[in-house]
Amino acid sequence: MDLLLPSVAHFQSFLVCFARVGTLMAVLPVFGGGQVPARVRIGLAVTMSLVVYPLAQPYIPRISFEIVSLALLVLSEALIGLLFGFIAQFVFSAVELGGTAISYKMGFAAANVFDPQTQRQVSVIPQFQNILAILIFLSLDMHHLFLRVLAESYAVLAPGDAGLSQGALGYVIGLSSSIFVLGIKLAAPVLAVLILSSVVLGVMARVFPQLNVFFLSFPLNIGISLIVIGLTMNLVAAMLVREFNGLGEHFLAVLRLL
């Protein structure tokens, strides 16, 4: 019976590690989307847990094999992993918000396509910008950043020490409010040009009453929007690079505040 105790203790420790790593992999951008099969996500979560476990084991407290205490510890670790994933999703939510605003303004409100990442119908422009954000996310090796943050997170916040403090809650709320600011920044150039185009068309409608401005506005808005999106793509990419590079600081700041 004594020989079985170490295996049970190691299983408990691995389960605690898997709770943080597995929940993060479940909501991680790109890898946690619906386009990745569930079996692949589970296998990836187990593999990443095995990689991180040797680094996390010294920080995992030894607990008795009690259902209540183990369940509470696993639940707290799962919430930390979910928090990491949701913070990373904020950038993609801002991209979708800005693209949706552009799509509705340029007349693509009814042109929806299926998004395999969110498993729902979205407009064409948000889908295009979401693909651009995914490519930038992978080109910056942000998926490697999550592994480094996971390894460092156990030294900053050991399992069982997490607590929902007022500072951490305020910091996360502040990050969530930045979704709207970033979304408007991404859509601002196109929206400004479309508003100017609407003003010009309104003046033309008053000057030339026989001009059918309604049918003229559709191809004009689409053409202008596509041109502005192409011209400002470098600016959008630079903004996304800045936001992705700041994710590591956001993660460590939340860990210190918990």
Domain of 228, in residue numbers: 4-257
pLDDT tens-digit series, residues 53-85: 888 888 777 766 677 777 888 888 888 888 887
Q: How far apart are the first and last CA of the chain?
A: 39
Residues 241, 66: Cα–Cα separation, whole Å: 45
Q: According to the model, what pLDDT value does residue 32 have?
A: 67
Q: According to the model, what pLDDT value does residue 5 have?
A: 46
Q: Which residues contact 60 (CB under 8 A, 6 or more apart)?
A: 13, 16, 17, 154, 158, 159
pTM of the model: 0.78
Q: According to the model, what pLDDT value does residue 113 have?
A: 62
Q: According to the model, what pLDDT value does residue 110 have?
A: 61
As averages over each run of 10 residues, the pLDDT of the chain (258 residues) reads 56 82 80 72 83 81 73 83 82 86 77 62 79 85 78 77 69 81 88 87 80 77 86 88 83 77
Q: Which residues contact 199 (CB under 8 A, 6 or more apart)?
A: none
CA 101, chain centre distance (Å):
19
Q: Are 178 and 94 in contact (CB under 8 A)?
A: yes
Domain count, the chain: 1
